[in-house]
Amino acid sequence: MHFNLAGQLIGALLLQTASALPVWARFGSRSLSARDGSYSEILKPKVFIVSLFTPEAAAWWHIPDFNILAQNISIPGLSPRFPEAHCTANGEICQVVTGEGEINAAATIQALVHYTGFNLAETYFLSAGIAGVNPNVATIGSVTYARFAIQVAQQYEFDIRDIGENFTTGYIPYGTKKPAPAEYPQNFYGTEVFELNVALRDRAVKLSSKAHLNDSDIAIAYRAKYTQKAAKSAPFVIGCDVATSDNFYSGNILANAANNFTLLMTNGTGVYCSTAQEDNASLESFMRAAKTKKVDYSRIMVMRTAANFDRPHPGESAYQHLFYANSGGFLPSVANIYLAGIEVVNDIIKNWDSVYAKGIHPTNYVGDIFGTLGGKPDFGPYPFFGEA
């Protein structure tokens, strides 16, 4: 689908489904003047929405009384396709579009966090995009919030036809000689897994569960071809984890390999659920910014809405599934970015002084495998870092 047409359709859909927003969302409460891409007043957003490409971004652009395009701020280092950040007139809610893929995401977030026109030290980040989904866990149109983001392609890779008859996958963790979950990687880069604030994640799940999620007749019919209970259900909101890979993979063999690597890297805690391209790259850039107190890592949420399944239904090949199946999930998944996400955005603004300004204290470890931000990781090779 052409992105411009998709944006128009999404806009029409959201105009029908969005409810009225509170007064704070109406632009005009504060006007800031731009001079050569910089602002005379530093913006201190309460919420920053991170979109990955045009349809996801446009989900926030067509809503009555919600003008996130009131301020359009050119920032050096953003994607050539998406060179501006967008903010409401009062500066409380902003959006950036990274561009697709890990490199674009990392470069954009790095440029954003170092832009001197923003103070992001207390900002909540809602990274919100569409994804594939594991039919054992959720269904098309569902909304997922991650505790873990796992870089599932960060392994040795063989074409499965070359590796030998004793292997069920061509992926083998670095420094080992067997596929996951046999042995934890003996060599790792530190970007393979990130853990986010579960208390914040769970609050987001509860808030988004209030939303009336969008669906389609085509999606309902397509779900019926799957045997899994979760796949057959109507869209719902769930806390489960995201697999990151620049490879747009599809099929049972690769999905099972990603599931096994997720379990391995999280020491059996992670739930392989949604499949995406950008999240680990964005989170590494946020990690480096958090190390210098430019952002608060415990204020990051990763939301993915399911546009399609990560594997075919019985009787369908992986090739047919990826290129010819019409899941009916694209428009509902894009619509649900806003419908679920706005519940979180509204809550942050409404309850800023009483809940969010002081932060939602994590009850779990938050960070990477190196303990970059302090604390002891609850995942990694045994003994874990810091243990005798």
**Average pLDDT in the chain:** 89
Which DSSP helix (H) or strand (E) runs through 109? helix 102-113
Does some domain include residue 222? yes
Does some domain include residue 179? no
Q: Is the pLDDT of residue 11 over 90?
A: no
pTM, 2 dp: 0.89
Domain that holds residue 18: 3-154+189-356
Helix and strand numbers, DSSP H then E, in the chain: 11, 16
Does some domain include residue 182? no
Does some domain include residue 184? no
Identify which of 57, 47, 122 has the alpha carbon closest to the alpha carbon of residue 343.
47
pLDDT band at 41 (very low <50, low <70, confident <90, very high): confident
Does some domain include residue 162? no
- Determine the pLDDT at residue 13: 47
Question: What is the average per-residue pLDDT within 217-235?
Answer: 97
Unique residue bearing structure tokens 């002891």: 376
Percent of the chain with pLDDT over 70: 88
Identify which of 145, 130, 120 has the alpha carbon closest to the alpha carbon of residue 297.
120
pLDDT band at 388 (very low <50, low <70, confident <90, very high): very low
Q: Is the pLDDT of residue 337 over 60?
A: yes
pLDDT tens digits, residue range 72-129? 999 999 999 999 999 999 999 999 999 999 999 999 999 999 999 999 999 999 999 9
Identify which of 362, 380, 359, 377 has the alpha carbon closest to the alpha carbon of residue 196.
362
Least-confidence region, from 13-27, 39-53, 285-299: 13-27
Q: Is the pLDDT of residue 198 over 60?
A: yes
- Output the domain CATH number for residue 125: 3.40.50.1580
Question: What is the average per-residue pLDDT within 359-386?
Answer: 88
Do residues 283 and 298 lie in contact, with contact meaning Cβ atoms separated by under 8 Å?
no
Q: Which stretches of the chain are assigned E, i.e. beta strand?
A: 34-35, 38-39, 47-51, 71-74, 84-87, 93-97, 124-133, 143-145, 148-151, 156-157, 171-172, 193-195, 237-239, 241-244, 272-276, 300-309
Which DSSP helix (H) or strand (E) runs through 58? helix 54-58
| Number of structural domains the chain divides into | 1
Q: Is the pLDDT of residue 386 over 60?
A: no
Q: Is the pLDDT of residue 153 over 50?
A: yes
Does some domain include residue 249? yes
Does some domain include residue 121? yes
Question: What is the average per-residue pLDDT within 186-197?
Answer: 95
- Determine the pLDDT at residue 384: 52
pLDDT tens digits, residue range 255-293? 999 999 999 999 999 999 999 999 999 999 999 999 999
Does some domain include residue 373? no
Do residues 155 and 254 lie in contact, with contact meaning Cβ atoms separated by under 8 Å?
no
Cα 307 from Cα 329, distance rounded (Å)? 4
